[in-house]
Structure 1
């Protein structure tokens, strides 16, 4: 039987302008009422995940920033990880010439070095404002402890930038295309899969008692944790291939689990 159901946010549970399908809300509430624990695993901030869980009206664990931070349903910190300041500075220097907006996340804030129209556009899809800090990199290790560095831009630029980052830092850090418009750069071994493993160990749930659903390349480590993995039909074909099943909506994954007698 499934004891834990994990959902990604953007492109999976969460649509544009923070829209959530009523059917998905009802399916998660049904799981909550059936004593199946819920979790959200996202590249977003912990604050964003908490807001979504509150909007849905359910309780759940939170795996934020691709596994950099893990909190259980009672707000206990299970795991946290930051960049070493020197490595974060090296990354920022390397991506300086990329034709994209660069943001730096800490545990609870998002920074960028200059304001432009793209920053405003990105901000509309977040649950908090991006802070403008012109001396951003110089604050690393002092007032700013980076946990995630993100490049935002057009899909073609995202693909090229991800390739360059992988080539330069492949054995020093992890990077993911978390959305067609984003490349997330993380400390080494920080991913949703390892974040979920930390959660499972803490709450005493086995991988085969877990189901998950996602739609992006940063969900692939999550798919590897459990045999009950679902990819959204809108996901890239390479993402779909790595999941056990493909569905159109979150609620369809819940219904499938019920049909199989796992829920």
Structure 2
């Protein structure tokens, strides 16, 4: 039986301009009412996930910034991680010449060193403003403690940058394309799979009791942890190859689980 349903946000549950389909909202509420808890796992910050849950009108566990922060549905912190030592500074130095906008995220803020048209584009999709900090690099480790560093730009630049980052840092950090317009760099072993594992360990669940849905490269790690994985039809072919089934909408994944008899009934649900 599925005892936890995990959904990504951007490109999966959340469309452009923060749009969420009514069919997806109804399906999530039905699923929760019938005993299967929800988790949102996203590259976004925790307060942004909380805002989406509020707009949907449901409660849920939260795995934010690709697994850097994990909270249960009561708001209790389960896990938190930021870059150690001078790693963030090393990354910023390595990506300095990339023709893209660099943003640095902490637990609850996003910084960049100068204004650019891409900053306005990114801000439109966030639930908070990006802070312009001209002395960003100098403030790393002093007043700014990064949990995620992101390059934002055109798809071709994103692909090229992702390759360069892998070649430069290898296994020192985790990096992946989280959207066609951005590549995220995370502390080592910080990804959605490991964030979800922190959560299910606390809940006493097994990976095979988890179902998940996503659409991008940063979702592959969670696809690989469970046989019940769904990927959006709009995803890159390499991402689709890692999931068990392709769907067009989140509600289709929930409906498929229900048809297979894998969702908990209310009277059978564990208190998670």
TM-score range relative to shorter protein: over 0.9
Alignment of 1:84-103 (within 5 A): 84-103=84-103
Q: Per chain length, whose mean CA-contact separation is higher, i.e. which structure has more relative contact order (CA < 8 Å, sep 6+)? A: 2
TM-score, normalised by the number of residues in structure 1: 0.99
User: How many Å apart are 1:232 and its aligned residue?
Assistant: 0.4
CA distance in 2, matches of 1:71, 1:107: 12
Query: Which residue matches 2:28?
Result: 28
TM-score, normalised by the number of residues in structure 2: 0.96
Query: Which residue matches 1:51?
Result: 51
CA distance in 2, matches of 1:210, 1:86: 36
Aligned length: 263
Query: Which residue matches 2:125?
Result: 125
CA distance in 2, matches of 1:242, 1:8: 15
Query: Which residue matches 1:42?
Result: 42
Query: Which residue matches 1:78?
Result: 78
Structure 1 counterpart SS, 2:177: strand
Residues 85 and 113 of structure 1, relative CA distance in 2, 3 Å threshold:
farther
Query: Which residue matches 1:216?
Result: 216
Structure 1 counterpart SS, 2:58: coil
Query: Which residue matches 1:180?
Result: 180
CA distance in 2, matches of 1:176, 1:85: 21
User: How many Å apart are 1:91 and its aligned residue?
Assistant: 0.3
CA distance in 1, matches of 2:37, 2:85: 36
Unaligned runs of 5+ in 2: 264-272
Query: Which residue matches 1:139?
Result: 139
CA distance in 2, matches of 1:4, 1:53: 16
User: How many Å apart are 1:201 and its aligned residue?
Assistant: 0.2
User: How many Å apart are 1:35 and its aligned residue?
Assistant: 1.7
User: How many Å apart are 1:240 and its aligned residue?
Assistant: 0.6
The answer to which of 115-124 and 18-27 deviates more is: 115-124
- 1:122-167 superposed Cα distances (whole Å, 9 cap, x missing partner): 1000000000100011111111100000000000000000000000
Asked whether the equivalents of residues 3 and 37 of structure 1 are also in contact (C-alpha less than 8 Å), the reply is yes
- 1:93-117 superposed Cα distances (whole Å, 9 cap, x missing partner): 0101100000000000000000121
CA distance in 1, matches of 2:155, 2:141: 32
* Root mean square deviation, CA, Å: 0.6
